[in-house]
Structure 1
Amino acid sequence: MNLILRIPLQATPEQATRLLALQQAFAQVCNVLAPLVQQTRVWNRVALHHLAYRQLREQFPALGSQMVCNAIYSVSRTCRRVYQNPASPFNLNRLQGKPLPLLRFRDSCPVYFDRHTLSVKGGQLSMFTLDGRMRFELALRPEDEAAFHSAKLREIVLARRRDGVFELSFYLETAGDKVPAQSAQVRVERTGAVPPSGVGEIPEYVMVEKTA
């Protein structure tokens, strides 16, 4: 069974500033990668990693190796959605050999984490930021916390909602049918695909610059 656990973060103003800085730095890396994808037509995650990782690590030392990898994943994932989804207006078949449009990531783009850059233990969430780990207390039942460790984790996504609140979404694949309990902090959604592939619409955090 596929689940999405959504947890809003009760961030202080200082914490929110740090999260905004991380989000902006993540978008910067994505925007360095996007022209490379446009020029080379390479967006396979592994191939793009080999093509760009070393340069990105040198250019963005504060982001760390794993977050650079996550930014590469973000660009690869977004390019698949824009260039390969049959419903996308910028699908390769529709372009008919024309140059790829350039993708530009807004500062509001989601930030992708993994088990190296984010952890949950003893009711405490620990996550990477540009100036050290940030921690939040979570009111989770022991069995809910166990789900983070036992389920197959597909994605962890940090996004800023329209009301300005930062929210973490955990995309999980579980073996059984037991669903974690809803609570004031955790919202649980069943989903048919983890992570969702979209239906062809361009993500709102991406601007597409058409080429002549």
Structure 2
Amino acid sequence: MILTQQVQLKPTEQQAEKLKATLELCNEVCNWLSPQIAEEKSRSRMKLQKKYYYQVREQFPKIGAGQTIMTIWQTVDSYKAGKKGIVRTFRPHGAMPFHPNCMRPLDSAISGVSIWTCDGREKIPVVMGDYQREMIEGRKLRGEADLIYRDNKFYLHLAVEIPDVEVQEAFWHLGVDMGIKNIAVDSDGTVWAGNHLQNVRCRYDRLRAKLQAKGTKSAKRLLKKRRHKEQRFARDVNHCISKQLILKAKDTGRGIALEDLTGIRDRVTVRKSQRRIHSSWGFYQLRMFIGYKAEMRGVPVVHVDPRNTSRTCPRCGHVAKENRKTRDKFVCVSCGFAGPADHIAAINIGRRADARQPNAACDEVKTA
């Protein structure tokens, strides 16, 4: 298993200038390559590397062999995702992957790194938290490392090889329904409400609007200082929820069952007043956190079709739109079974995974 860990570099002022110049050079190469890659039919890294390697070395003599390969790969990869027909552009200080030969740790504890710059190699100290140190020390680094420049600080994203954990066999699953009002509800009835997170986001929205309208230097300075706080708070909430779900599933010998919400933003139309809330919904991040934490602890994860999970009665199996009276309330029109709609959905998600039919959707049953 490969996990990415973030550590901070502590360069001197001179080293920081060299790192910035290196990022500027690499992104300049990417911008030079981008229009040419856009015209290529192939998106193969190796084919395009063979075609453009010597052209890049000739056009940009200061760039090394390893980083020439990385800039070509970075440009090619940018065209594998996103809209077609748009020429990609790269920011001067945008993140850049570094070839393993261009970034080497000084020791097994990663107390520092030897990193290539356009003005020669530099040995730069590294600082990290206790968790990162525990995950990195004595373990093998895999592939390239990403150099990131953010808020006048440099970070490295290191890919660390973690021993695989045998996945436990699960005959029963803990169903998890994800949403906006309730971030997550499991089939045991535990609710992680989203009202506090939404209140925090609304407060930051009001503060941003107020500071942007003011437009003074101090207002801009405060905007810059607070711009990542909301993101960090939401990320921490998702980390806490995913950890609790995995521990509960592990302790009870169950797997995790999630809805397959791929493409939901494109399929669902929301009112203008709800667009900000809908676009800030972090279900994908929560799903990713659950996925990697489950893999670390050997808990199986199953994705099921979400259709009609909140309209199906878990007692009699009747499916009807009328079963869901309101957003929060479920009342079966056939047998009268009632309960919170999100809890009902979580139960049905877990049962679909138990039945080993993750892609089977129930058709609506019409009654006379």
Contact kept, 8 Å, 1:2 with 1:172, in 2: the verdict is: yes
> Of 88, 107, 110, which residue of structure 1 is paired with 2:95?
110
Q: Distance in 1 between matches of 2:136 and 2:164?
A: 14
Alpha-carbon distance in 1 for matches of 2:143, 2:100: 10
Residue matched to 2:41: 41
Determine what percentage of the aligned residue pairs are the same residue.
26
The answer to whether the 8 Å contact 1:157/1:170 transfers is: yes
Q: Could you say what secondary structure the match of 1:80 adopts? A: coil
TM alignment of 1:95-174, pairs within 5 A: 100-122=85-107, 123-138=111-126, 144-147=136-139, 150-151=140-141, 153-161=142-150, 163-174=151-162
- Give the AA of the match of 1:61: P
Deviation, structure 1 residue 166: 0.8
Aligned to 1:125, the other structure's residue is in SS state: strand
Aligned equivalents of 2:58, 2:14: Cα separation in 1 = 28
| Structure with the larger RCO, 1 or 2 (CA within 8 Å, 6+ apart) | 1
Q: How big is the shift at 1:34?
A: 0.5
Q: Residues 26-51 of structure 1: CA distance to partner in whole angstroms, max 9, x if unpaired?
A: 00110111011122233321111122
Q: What is aligned with 1:27?
A: 27
Amino acid at match of 2:86: P
SS at match of 2:64: helix
CA distance in 1, matches of 2:52, 2:64: 14
Q: 2:15 aligns to what?
A: 15
CA contact (8 A) 2:9 2:127 kept: no
Q: Distance in 1 between matches of 2:125 and 2:153?
A: 16
Shift of 1:108: 2.2
User: In the TM superposition, what is the alpha-carbon distance from 1:5 to its structure 2 partner?
Assistant: 1.2
CA distance in 1 between partners of 2:35 and 2:42 (Å): 11
Q: How far apart are the structure 1 equivalents of 2:116 and 2:146? A: 13
Q: How many residues align?
A: 163
Residue pair 1:43, 1:75 contacting (<8 A) in 2 also: no
Matches of 1:160 and 1:107, distance apart in 2: 10
Name structure 2 gaps, 5 residues minimum.
166-238, 240-287, 293-368
Q: Is the 8 A contact 1:156 1:170 kept in 2?
A: yes
Note the C-alpha offset of 1:154: 3.6
* Structure 1: tracts of 5 or more residues without a match: 83-89, 93-99, 178-188, 194-212
Deviation at 1:142, TM superposition (A): 9.4
User: Aligned pair 1:78/2:81, yes or no?
Assistant: no
8 Å CA contact 1:53–1:69 kept in 2: the answer is: yes
User: 1: distance between equivalents of 2:149 and 2:100?
Assistant: 21
Q: CA deviation at 1:63?
A: 0.7
Distance 1:143 1:37, change over 3 A: closer
Return the alpha-carbon distance in structure 1 between the equivalents of residues 89 and 125 of structure 2.
35
Distance in 1 separating the partners of 2:51 and 2:87: 18
Aligned CA-pair RMSD: 2.4
TM-score normalised to the size of structure 1? Answer: 0.68
Shift, 1:135, TM fit: 0.8
Deviation at 1:164, TM superposition (A): 1.5
